[in-house]
C-alpha cells in the first residue's frame, strides 16, 4: 500500500506539472489579457500594473516564476479581486462546493443504489420498467435542464424550496439534487446490470440453499459484487460533478468555486484560473486513487500493484 501511494504521489506531481504547463500556455495564447478593460488604461498606469504582476517579463520568466510560486502553494493575488489572494478565494469557495458535491453524491448513490437493486430483484416487472425508464430520461437530460425544471416546479408552482441562495440547509437541496440526478441514473443502470450478473453466481445460490433470507443475501453477499462497476464509475462521476457544479452554481447562485471559475475565464484572471485548475486536478486525481484502492475492498482478488 505504501509503495502504491508513493507511486501515485509521483504520478500526481508529474500530472500537475503537465496541467500547469498546458494551462499557462493556453491562457497566454488566447486574445486579450487581464488588464484589458472597456476603458483603455493610460500608458503609465498599464506599465505600473504590468510591472506589479510581472507581465512585462519574458514569457519564460513568467512561467518559471509562477511554477516556483505554485510549488510553494503561493498562488498569488487575483487580478480582478486585488484585495484577495487566490488561496483566500479558494478557502472561501471550496467548502461550499465540497458541501454541494458531497450532498449531490449522496443523492446519486442513495437513489441509484435503491433503484438498481429494486429493478434487479423485481426484473421484468412494472417497477423495473418504470425505474429504468426514469433512469434513461435522467441520463438524457443534462443537469441545467433538470435545474430549470425543478426551479419551475418546486420554487414557483409549489414553493417548497428557494430558487437561489446559500446559508440554510433548505438552500442546498435543489442544487444538490439537480447535480446528482444524472449520475443517480447511471448508477441505477450499473447496479441493476451488476446485480443481475451476481445473482446468477454459485455462491448466491449456495446462500439461498443455506436458508438465508433474501434481504440478507442481497445486502450482505450480492451488493459487494454489484458495486464493482459503480466503483469504476465513481472517478468520472466525481469529475462530472465538479465540472457540472460550475453550471449549477451559476443557476442557483451558490457562492462556490464555480462562479469564480466562470468569472476568471471571462475576465482573463490568470492567477485565479490557474489556481482553480490546479485544485480541481488535485481533487480529481485524489478521487481516482481512492477509487482504485476501493477495488481491493469490494473484490479481495484485486491486488494493488
Looking at residues 45-67, what average pLDDT do you find? 77
Number of independent structural domains in the chain: 1
Among 113-117, 137-141, 283-287, the range of highest mean pLDDT = 113-117
The lowest-confidence range among 155-169, 170-184, 199-213 is: 199-213
DSSP string, 16-69: HHHHHHHHHHHHHHSS--TT--SSPPPHHHHHHHHHHTTTTS-HHHHHHHHHHH
Residue 9 CB contacts under 8 Å (≥ 6 apart), including other chains: none
Other C-beta atoms within 10 Å of 144: how many?
Answer: 14
Residue 80 lies in a domain: no
Give the C-alpha separation, 81 to 102, whole Å. 28
The pTM of this model reads: 0.74
Residue 209 lies in a domain: yes
- pLDDT 10s digits, 117-173: 888 888 888 888 888 888 888 888 887 888 888 888 888 888 888 888 787 888 888
Residue 278 lies in a domain: no
The better pLDDT of the pair 287, 10 is held by 10
- pLDDT 10s digits, 256-271: 887 788 778 777 888 8
**Domain residue limits at 145:** 94-263
The lowest-confidence range among 149-153, 226-230, 294-298 is: 294-298
* C-alpha cell read off for 162: 428557494
Residue 165 lies in a domain: yes
Residue 247 lies in a domain: yes
Q: How far is CA 167 from CA 131, 163, 172, in A?
A: 33, 13, 8
Residue 84 lies in a domain: no
Q: Determine what percent of the chain is predicted with pLDDT higher than 90.
A: 3
pLDDT on residue 18: 93
The lowest-confidence range among 34-38, 234-238, 276-280, 283-287 is: 34-38
pLDDT on residue 22: 92
Residue 164 lies in a domain: yes
Give the CATH number, domain containing residue 224.
1.10.3720.10
Give the C-alpha separation, 1 to 59, whole Å. 41
pLDDT on residue 21: 92
Residue 68 lies in a domain: no
Task: Work out the pLDDT band at 92, boundaries 50, 70, 90.
Answer: confident
Looking at residues 274-293, what average pLDDT do you find? 82
- pLDDT 10s digits, 2-40: 777 888 888 888 999 999 999 888 888 877 766 666 566
Amino acid at each position: 500500500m505504501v509503495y502504491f501511494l508513493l507511486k501515485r504521489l509521483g504520478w500526481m506531481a508529474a500530472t500537475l506539472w503537465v496541467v500547469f504547463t498546458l494551462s499557462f500556455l493556453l491562457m497566454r495564447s488566447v486574445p486579450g489579457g487581464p488588464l484589458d478593460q472597456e476603458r483603455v488604461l493610460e500608458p503609465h498606469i498599464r506599465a505600473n500594473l504590468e510591472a506589479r504582476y510581472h507581465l512585462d517579463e519574458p514569457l519564460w520568466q513568467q512561467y518559471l516564476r509562477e511554477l516556483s510560486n505554485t510549488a510553494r502553494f503561493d498562488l498569488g493575488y487575483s487580478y480582478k479581486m486585488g484585495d484577495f489572494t487566490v488561496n483566500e478565494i479558494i478557502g472561501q469557495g471550496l467548502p461550499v462546493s465540497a458541501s454541494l458535491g458531497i450532498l449531490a453524491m449522496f443523492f446519486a448513490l442513495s437513489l441509484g443504489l435503491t433503484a438498481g437493486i429494486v429493478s434487479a430483484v423485481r426484473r421484468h416487472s412494472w417497477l423495473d420498467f418504470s425505474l429504468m425508464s426514469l433512469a434513461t430520461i435522467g441520463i438524457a437530460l443534462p443537469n441545467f435542464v433538470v435545474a430549470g425544471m425543478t426551479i419551475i416546479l418546486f420554487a414557483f408552482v409549489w414553493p417548497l424550496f428557494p430558487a437561489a441562495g446559500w446559508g440554510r440547509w433548505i438552500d442546498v437541496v435543489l442544487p444538490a439534487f439537480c447535480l446528482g440526478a444524472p449520475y443517480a441514473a447511471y448508477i441505477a443502470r450499473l447496479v441493476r446490470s451488476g446485480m443481475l450478473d451476481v445473482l446468477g453466481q454459485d455462491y448466491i445460490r449456495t446462500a439461498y440453499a443455506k436458508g438465508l433470507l433474501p434481504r440478507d443475501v442481497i445486502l450482505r453477499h450480492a451488493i459487494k459484487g454489484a458495486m464493482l462497476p459503480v466503483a469504476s464509475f465513481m472517478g468520472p462521476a466525481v469529475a462530472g460533478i465538479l465540472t457540472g457544479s460550475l453550471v449549477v452554481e451559476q443557476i442557483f447562485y451558490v457562492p462556490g468555486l464555480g462562479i469564480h471559475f466562470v468569472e476568471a475565464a471571462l475576465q482573463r484572471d490568470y492567477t485565479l484560473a490557474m489556481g482553480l485548475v490546479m485544485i480541481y486536478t488535485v481533487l480529481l486525481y485524489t478521487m481516482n486513487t481512492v477509487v482504485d484502492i476501493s477495488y481491493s475492498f469490494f473484490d479481495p482478488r484485486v491486488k494493488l500493484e
